[in-house]
């Protein structure tokens, strides 16, 4: 399983890198707009996304029975959510993918007041208690919208790896615990200076 998790993470990192390297800004925006059309759908359900979400997917992650694999769900969900998150932000000056920012850390950065904490915690709890990837993708959209509005980045390759694990009975509670720990931990205000893209 560890190999498939790394393959999922690497696949998403490669796809994001390709988007960031696009020389044509209009083509990059079109790619992101196309990915946003996939939000709320299952992997493979939107044919116009196949070249983005399936082309180059490692064989170990490809479904053999027509039902999306853990890797397909994780990479598809991470890529479509990134497209939503990046909307309205420049790829060059405001990338919404940043290494080292877990979902818990990003959600914590939304908290500025005690009222914020209760509001964000309710939304975060709804995401964490989702029973399926389809439900998770539905609930996390609102959280991603808040991150987008706040200009708070997230590590999307790491999110893809976590989403893979979240689908397994043996590891989903570890992912939830780690995200919860990151959400509850108080951060140094200078922490962003130590994080890289």
Structure tokens at 31: 């790619």
First to last CA, the chain: 27
Mean pLDDT of 173-196: 75
| pLDDT given at position 120 | 93
Q: What is the pLDDT of residues 51-86, one digit of tens each?
A: 999 999 999 999 999 999 999 999 999 999 999 999
For the CA atoms of the chain, what is the radius of gyration?
A: 16
What are the Cα distances from residue 57, in Å, to 10, 68, 190?
10, 12, 37
Q: How far apart are CA 84 and CA 32, in angstroms?
A: 8
Contact 84, 77 (CB under 8 A): no
DSSP states along 48-67: GGHHHHTTT--GGGS-SSSS
Residues, the chain: 197
Q: What is the pLDDT of residues 165-176, one digit of tens each?
A: 999 999 999 999
Q: What is the pLDDT of residues 128-161, one digit of tens each?
A: 999 889 899 899 999 999 999 999 999 999 999 9
Average pLDDT of the residues of the chain: 92
Contact 73, 167 (CB under 8 A): yes
Q: What is the pTM of this model?
A: 0.92
pLDDT at 193 over 50: no
Contact 120, 136 (CB under 8 A): no
Q: How far apart are CA 106 and CA 98, in angstroms?
A: 10
Contact 33, 83 (CB under 8 A): yes
Q: What is the pLDDT of residues 26-50, one digit of tens each?
A: 999 999 999 999 998 999 999 999 9
- Read off the pLDDT band of 25 (50, 70, 90): confident
- Read off the pLDDT band of 196 (50, 70, 90): very low
């Amino acid at each position: 399983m560890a190999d498939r998790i790394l393959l999922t993470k690497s696949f998403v990192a490669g796809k994001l890198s390709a988007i960031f390297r696009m020389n044509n800004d209009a083509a990059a925006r079109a790619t992101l707009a196309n990915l946003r059309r996939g939000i709320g759908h299952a992997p493979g359900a939107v044919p116009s996304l196949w070249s983005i979400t399936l082309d180059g997917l490692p064989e170990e992650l490809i479904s053999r029975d027509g039902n999306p694999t853990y890797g397909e769900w994780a990479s598809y969900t991470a890529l479509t959510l990134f497209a939503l998150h990046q909307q309205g932000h420049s790829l060059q000056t405001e990338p919404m993918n940043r290494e080292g920012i877990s979902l818990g850390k990003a959600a914590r950065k939304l908290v500025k007041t005690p009222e914020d904490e209760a509001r964000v915690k309710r939304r975060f709890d709804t995401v964490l208690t989702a029973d399926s990837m389809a439900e998770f993708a539905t609930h996390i959209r609102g959280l991603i919208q808040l991150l987008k509005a706040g200009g708070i980045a997230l590590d999307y390759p790491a999110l893809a790896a976590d989403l893979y694990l979240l689908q397994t009975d043996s590891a989903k509670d570890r992912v939830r615990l780690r995200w919860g720990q990151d959400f509850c931990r108080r951060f140094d205000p200078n922490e962003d200076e130590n994080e890289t893209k």
